[in-house]
A and B are shown apart, each in its own frame.
Chain A
Amino acid sequence: MLLVLLAPLGSTRAEAQNLGAIEISGRAKIGTKIEKITRKRFYLFRGGLEANRAMLDRVKASAGVSRDCFYCRAKASPEYIAWLKAENCESPFCREITADDITKVPEFQAAYQKGLKQFRGKTDIAQKWVTTNLPPELRDGFYRQEKTLLDTLLAGAKPLQSSMTDIVTIKAIFIDIALTAGKTSETFLISNLVPIEIGGKGYVWACELPNGPNAKPTTLQPTFPVVNKSGQKCEVYVRDLPVCAGGSCEAK
């Protein structure tokens, strides 16, 4: 369920401006199933689909790499990938690496042993700082890849804001959105840009939201296939993501 709320806000800073707020709730309906889009970032741009067409064309043309495929190509152990999968993490910084994790995941064990030597046998530091001794690809390689992809897609364009959906209410928030001077209504584009993995496929939604100071809250549910409701228009780009099999990733 993508919930859009645009409400003009006043503030001491913004008395000369119209400030808006948009609330995005990401419960995607894929077919008949509701999928929670948690901890995923959405970007806000001024203008609608056509005004941002060049960027969206790049999004459509880009190939995504799934998390599992990335780590598979990086020769991560099945235990490492399982640790990430257990809480839908994309990196080892996602959650605490416990002593139990260190015994079970070879990469954590190797980094821990390195840390024991480096940190003069201090087991607490070796454990807490275990990520500092992980190989770079496994440590932040996926983040860097996603960042590179994002920079390529943006190609110098600057989103007005970006915001992440949370893991309970599955919502993200944009606030302090200034309308162009003199305008009482404006169209914005919201997109995740970087594919969101759902069931082996990558989904990118791009939704334009016309709104004005008196706009009432509207609800837009990202769906595939797309279902547009009044005043809002979405495009969704879906691509099969490569699957890791036998240590290599083949395109589907």
Chain B
Amino acid sequence: MLNELSIAELTHLLGRREVSARQAVQSCLEQLERVEPQVHAFLSWDAADALAQADAADAQLAAGVAHASRPLLGVPIAVKDIIAVKGHPLTCGSRILHNFISPYDATVIERLRQAGAVLFGRLNLDEFAMGSTTENSSYGPTRNPWDLTRVPGGSSGGSAAAVAAHECVAALGSDTGGSIRQPAAFCGCVGLKPTYGRVSRYGLVAFASSLDQIGPITKTVYDAAVLLGVMAGHDPRDSTSLPAPVPNYVANLRPDIRGLKLGLAKEYMLGGLHPDVQAAVQAAVRQFEQLGAEVHEVSLPHTEYAVATYYIVATAEASANLARFDGVRYGLRVPGADPIQMYGNTRGAGFGPEVKRRIILGTYVLSKGYYDAYYLRAQKVRTLIRQDFLKAFETVDAVLTPTMPTPAFKLGEKLGDPLQMYLSDLYTLACNLAGICGLSVPCGFATVEPPEPGQPPVRLPIGLQLLGRPLGEETLLRLAYAYEQSTDWHKAKPPLVTAARPATAAAAPAKA
């Protein structure tokens, strides 16, 4: 089944002309038809456009264009509906942009096109990337392919679910407080948040401008390295993008990690971890030691303040970034007697409850009389959090934590209590505040009760998080690759996928 292949496997077959890009895209579209009614990872997709791109890729392959020069030629990649693709919807999971068609391509989209990717589909997300479960989408939630009664995580829940359900070969997400890493952990994928400024934000609808990054959600670490290599680099259209050169992430992937030092963050291993998560992370630590890495304990003393800091800084920035949605130039307009009324009516009707909560909170912490007590103070604590990491990186090459303290929760479980929802992000938020890079890689499964009695127990993926120095993606990818290659976690597939395979599927090339 071509849709179940990784980027590495598919490009190998495409390069040898054993399969066509059209067949690969067709395979993804057929999977979409089979599982989307249950998963709802996609908000929309244009099959004809995807196949046209596939045909163009096939023409290039026939003309002898090789993956050495266009590394993603013919590979179907789906896109979170917050990254601009010209001529396609850009809803951000919100009613306020229900009819918006993007007039331009994001820089990452331009780069992926140049690399030959077939870009298709608009993936579901929490509205304006605000949320941890994709339940805040105004278009209905996405379900976790491993257990359809559970969340896929968020805000890039559609991206992770689509990859886990093999509806695409890879996907793009965005991460402001964990929105790539957390759904990757919940869905058994690899998710990478680059160092702030490593990947251009031009064409990413802004939630929190000092925290947002675009990144890959993939089936393997190698695939993440390929995508990062294509997307990373300075962009004159994003004044926060770093001028640093882009290393060859793929060439630097080798399974030898002897001598690298890992720091197990003690504040992340305290109580509250699901026992299976604790066991999986401890087993991973032993695995890293077997592979020759040294594991030390490190302390990140301001960890407990990350949630409060994040929800002040991020909401403040969001309140500014979302001020542009006023019914004037694009999107929903609800009429009013004057423009001010129009803004209030439009935003009241167009934004969902979580977005409204965050805009209100962000406005409050920036307002006169409260700015110093909240926003300025949070910015100072942000400095302390960043310093914790920079200090740790003086003695270790990467910090190791669980990505989430528990596996995926049930749909509806945390909806009634926003503060509980915010607290669940504790492990991923600090990375964005510090501006460093972070990656989640599958490290095992938790076993939980099935949705119905009499069914077999359910396996839910567990993610291991690696946090690296600013511009330390090479080290993270190398560590994750070595670990991944010494385990079989990345080969596991959700029962939904194995059950959905047609009985008469054409003989698929055996996985390498």
Q: Do A and B bind each other?
A: no
Interface residues of B (CB under 8 A from A): none
